Amino acid sequence: MKATLYFRGSLSSCNYSCPYCPFSKTTDSAETLAKDQRQVEKFVEWVAMQEKHGHRLSVFFNPYGEGLVHAWYREAITVLSHMPHIDRVAIQTNLSAKLDWADRLNRDTAAFWATYHPGEVSEERFLARCLDLHRRGIKFSVGSVGVRSAFDRIDSLRRALPEEVYLWINAFKDRKNYYEEHEIQRLRAIDPLFELNLPDYASLGQPCRTGESVFFVQGPGIVKRCYSDRRVIGHLYRDGIEGLSQQRACGMKSCGCYIGYVHMPELNMESRYGDGLLERRGLREQFVTAYSGGRL
């Protein structure tokens, strides 16, 4: 079976405190960090065992906080990247951690979803980390939340990045009808796929791969169909992915987050992202024609 697993452990601390982010700036206790480490290590052990069952897996770590500042996340990604039955392993990260360890990664399977937070880090520092990944030949996308205060910084980063690096913009949806038409045009010029993220897609009763071949795993092994759907559909370590797999129509009224709607077959997001769907790397032909020599 071919499946995608999103994993979120007990980690709930981040070294950034972005006002628009649900990952609050908290400090985890030593006990919580130890618990998270055990959860990550058990998950990796379980994934390793799936090779003998003939499964092919993709894994995405999206913790409530920054994972790469902790050694067990770096080790998990490294180990998983070298497993022969892993198609992709990726993590959502602010790139604040050093990247010297990344030389150990299998560049064919490892990837980064790198998020730029202008209020927390300078463009120069973040850009340097992006260029470091680029020099190492590691797949990655770069993105930021499209709040008005960040427009100029996002524009500047786009101009500085190599043209083949896709920069996505998350539409700010905390306020209804947040953008004026000229602002949408401006953000589209930076991210030609921006308007794919702008709407909330009507999803109630619609087909979705979540719960069938895409699973959201919480630290102890609890599995939900979707990150935003609170219904528990089983337990990874008890049921396995074959026992969990079942066609499940969406039970939510709408879906407006990338890691949700990309799994709705009717949207055919693979045509826009190809094998970069997990880490949000747009296909080159979808965006690079908007630039000339890395400049708008």
What's phi and psi for 40, nearest 5 deg? -65, -45
Using CA atoms, how far residue 154 sits from 51, 65, 151, 169, in Å, is 41, 22, 5, 9
What pLDDT does residue 265 have? 97
List the helix and strand counts (H, then E) for the chain: 10, 11
What pLDDT does residue 296 have? 42
Give which of 156, 166, 159 is closest to 133, Cα–Cα: 166
Looking at residue 22, the DSSP 8-state letter turns out to be S
What pLDDT does residue 293 have? 43
Token pair listed for 251: 């039970």
What CATH architecture does domain 2-290 belong to? Answer: Alpha-Beta Barrel (3.20)
Give which of 258, 282, 284 is closest to 60, Cα–Cα: 258
Provide the pairing of β-strand 232-235 with 222-224: antiparallel
Contact criterion met (CB below 8 Å) for 294 and 167 = no
Q: What are residue 8's DSSP bridge partners?
A: 218
In tens digits, the chain (296 residues) has pLDDT values of 999 999 999 988 766 666 656 555 677 788 999 999 999 999 999 999 999 999 999 999 999 889 999 999 999 999 999 999 999 999 999 999 999 999 999 999 999 999 999 988 999 999 999 999 999 999 999 999 999 999 999 999 999 999 999 999 999 998 999 999 999 999 999 999 999 999 999 999 999 999 999 999 999 999 999 988 989 999 999 999 999 999 999 999 999 999 999 999 999 999 999 999 999 999 998 887 665 544 44
**Beta-strand (E) ranges in 116-213?**
139-145, 167-170, 201-202
What pLDDT does residue 286 have? 86
